[in-house]
Structure formats: C-alpha cells, structure tokens
Amino acid sequence: MLETAVELLAGETAYVVGGTVRDELLGRAILDVDIACREPEQAARAYAQATDGAPFPLSVTHGGWRVALRGGLTVDFTPLQGSIEEDLATRDFTINAIARPLAGGDHVDPFGGRDDLAAGLVRAVDAGVFERDPLRLLRGVRFEGELGFALERRTERLIREQAKLVAHPAGERILEVLMRLELGGWHRLDELGLLEPLGGSLELDDRADAVDSPEYRLVVFLRDSLGLLPVSRELRRYAVALLRSAPPAGSTPRDMHRFRRRTEPWARDALAFHGRLDLADALAESRAADPAEPLLRGDELGLPPGPEVGRLLELIAEERAAGTITTREEALELVRRRPR
C-alpha cells in the first residue's frame, strides 16, 4: 500500500503516523494506513486513481480523506497544517504519537512513544486529551485489551476523574469502540467508572461469557440502554429477541417451540442470556425436528387473508411440534374444531 503513496507524494512533506507506525514497531499486521500530508484531498484522489480505490471525505471539518481498497484495506490522508511535532501533539496516546517520513528516515517521537511501546504502557500525550475528545476514554481501554498493555498510572487517574464525559461523543463512535471490546474490556470499563455513564452494568456478568460475540456482550452489559445507540436494524432485532423474551417454561417440545417462535434465529443466544443453557440439548432436538414442509398452507384453510390465518398456521405448527397431530387431515380437523 505504501509504495504507491511514496511515488505519488515524492518530494512533498508527508509522514506515516498513528496506529500504522505503532503496529509497524510492534510487528503487527498493517490493515489501515494513516498518512499526514499538506493536500489530503488531492493525495487521496490521486491514490485512488492509481489503485482503483474509492475516495471519500472522512471529515468536512478536519479535512481528512479515506481511500477504501479491495479486501477491506483503507488508506487515510489527513491534513498536516503545521510541523509534524505539532500534529503529534494533538493525538491521544504516546504510542500513537510517533511518525516516520513517508519516503524513509528516522522516527519522530517527541513524547517517548517507543519507550512506552517497549514498556507496554498506554500513556496520554497530555492532561487534556480526554477533554478534547472523550471517545479517547474508551480507546484507552480498547488499546489495553487489543495490545495487552496497561494504562499508565497518571493516565488511569485522568480517566477515572473524567469518566462522566464518556457518553458525550456521537453514538456511532461509541458503538464502534464498544464492538471491539472483549469481555475483559467491559470489566475494565466498570473498574474505571466508564460503564455506568453509558447506562450499563455488570448485573448479568455471570452469563457474559456464554456467547463469544460483540453483539451479545452489548446486550448483556447495556441491556435497554443499547437502544440509545444508533445500532443497525439487525442488531436491534437481536437485542429485542433477547431482552423481550422469557426463558422457556420447561424442556418439552411445546415449550421449546414457543420459545423459538419468539427468539429464532437467536434462540441459543437467548438461552444463554437467560442463564438456561441447560436446555441447549432440548433446543437442538427441537431444531432437528423441524419439518421440511408445513401440514397446511394458508390458502388451504378456506379463510380470507388476515391475522386469523397466521394464528391458525401457528396453532398447527405448535401442535405438530408437540406431537398431538402428524397429518394433513388432523390439521384440518384441528382447524374445524377451533373456537369461533
């Protein structure tokens, strides 16, 4: 990715910055590149043309541009308005405040970021980083988990003191960071006083490790407060299936059918959420017993389209799951005998 940028920006002032340099120094895979230069839009459009990428503005206010490449890779071009040292002074943590000239040369490291990389520390560049952008409160926890680092003592104290700012950033940005947290990261949020201002708690922590997915952890730790964030329609449906369902009344085929009707395709996650994974085998048996075809279709009931058709089809499906009917004729008889 960088070779093309080096050619296009030859002779211009440009630096590789941020997480790209950090991950290079740590020997981690590079998936996203961040380049600070004088003319980000011009550089992004030229880079996109050379790589068949898609350029688009990251921020009208700050002037950054991104080029999306095939395979999910991205290259960001951000404005370098002053010196590189001034640019690095605006960043969050010392490990992200290291630069190197795009064309090659010595690292620029005014805040000792390489020493903190060696020590495994997440240290704020200065005392005002969280006030300038409270999302950094969450990013500090994220870096601890992703890198296996620890918050430097003064930085941890700053986070605790300013924890109430954590809900100030736009919901999209908060959600993006929360989706990247592992289980330990959620515990760390609580330790630092960051979870409560987001409307979360560890009340259901005893079942948080039952499903290893970021969506499940969001529901477990935020519950109804998740609705305050701009989640996708699919994630909203998932959350409702878990939060609005009740655990199965028992393990009978009828019980499992009713539970699945409210929670599929997330019935197993819902069992985990309710602390009832002891019913996982009953759920598996219920799923395995699903018939390939219904006993009756809606147009075979002899009724006009409407809610009653759906109610009867569900009644037939439940009785079939419970084993009280097995044939088309029995289904028709059930419909005939229904209360009117």
List, for residues 205-248, the tens digit of each pLDDT value: 999 999 999 999 999 999 999 999 999 999 999 999 999 999 99
Task: Answer whether residue 59 shows pLDDT above 80.
Answer: no
| Closest to 221 (Cα-Cα) out of 247, 251, 245, 242 | 242
Instruction: Answer yes or no: are the C-beta atoms of 294 and 313 closer than 8 Å.
Output: yes
CATH architecture for residues 1-119: 2-Layer Sandwich (3.30)
Taking only the tens place, the pLDDT of each residue in 308-320 is 888 898 998 999 9
Check whether 143 has a pLDDT greater than 90: yes
**Average pLDDT of the residues in 177-188:** 98
Question: Would the pLDDT of 107 be above 70?
Answer: yes
* Nearest to 196, CA basis, from 240, 165, 219, 231: 165
State the Cα–Cα distance between residues 194 and 40, nearest whole angstrom: 35
Other residues' Cβ atoms within 10 Å of the Cβ of residue 236: 14
The residues spanned by each domain of the chain are: 1-119, 245-290, 293-340
Question: Global pTM?
Answer: 0.89
Task: Tell which residue, 236, 188, 242, 177, has the closest CA to residue 211.
Answer: 242
Residues 33-50: tens digit of each pLDDT: 999 999 999 999 999 999
Left (φ > 0), alpha (ψ -120 to 50) or beta: where does 147 sit?
A: alpha
Looking at the predicted structure, is the pLDDT value of residue 196 above 80?
yes
The predicted pLDDT at position 340 comes to: 63
Q: Is the pLDDT of residue 164 over 90?
A: yes
- Residues 20 and 38: their CA atoms lie apart, in Å, by 19
**Given phi > 0 = left and psi -120 to 50 = alpha, else beta, which region is 84?**
alpha
List strand residue ranges (DSSP E) for the chain, in order.
14-16, 32-37, 54-57, 65-68, 74-79, 100-101, 121-122, 150-151
